[in-house]
Amino acid sequence: MTYVILSEATIALSDLFTGLLALAGTVALVFLAIMFYRLAAALKKVKDMLDEMALPLSQTVNQLPEVVKKTDKSLGDVNAITEAAATEVPDILESVSGVSTSVGTTVETVADTATNVIDAVNSVVSTGKSAVSSLNLDGLIGIAGRVTGIVSFLRRFKKKTKKKRKRKR
């Protein structure tokens, strides 16, 4: 004997959607619970970090007025140095300009004298004559005068800078 059992099950569509909605709500509540737990743990870590940093931060904030005073003093020193440089630099540039002009003239005179000496030596070697007449003794005297002028100028410049430094102190 064989029995055949046939069964039918009918589920209303509204019941199916209600079941699915209940399942989705349960999943959402579990997800929210996990998220709130993790958020609470993260906030606890942030609070612990802030508690650890409270003392060093308050010490740093307390030191700020002293740092500002030192910075103001340093900026005042920098300002004084800048003002001193502003008054000194034009004088130095003028002195350097004078020295460079004198040095340039001296170099030209030395070059001319060297050329004259070389020409005199060449003429002695090639002709065997005396070269004393072809040497430019005026050029040698001029060089010596310019060199002593440059040395005296540099000494005066050095004395002026020493006087200015003494006045500033």
Q: Which residues of 68-93 are buried (b: 16+ CB within 10 A; e: fewer)?
A: eeeeeeeeeeeeeeeeeeeeeeeeee
What are the extents of the domains in the chain?
13-168
Tens digits of pLDDT across the chain (169 residues): 677 777 777 888 999 999 999 999 999 999 999 999 999 999 999 999 999 998 888 898 899 889 888 888 888 888 888 887 777 777 777 777 777 777 777 777 777 777 777 777 677 666 655 545 545 666 667 677 777 777 777 777 777 766 666 666 5
For residues 124 and 131, the answer to whether their CB atoms sit within 8 Å is: yes
Q: What share of the chain is helix, strand, coil (3-state, %, to 5)?
A: 85, 0, 15
For residues 146 and 106, the answer to whether their CB atoms sit within 8 Å is: yes
Q: What is the largest CA-CA distance in the chain?
A: 159
**pLDDT at residue 140, rounded to an integer:** 66
Interval 25-43: pLDDT, tens: 999 999 999 999 999 999 9
Q: Exposed, middle or buried: residue 142 (CB in 10 Å: 0-12, 13-18, 19+)? A: middle
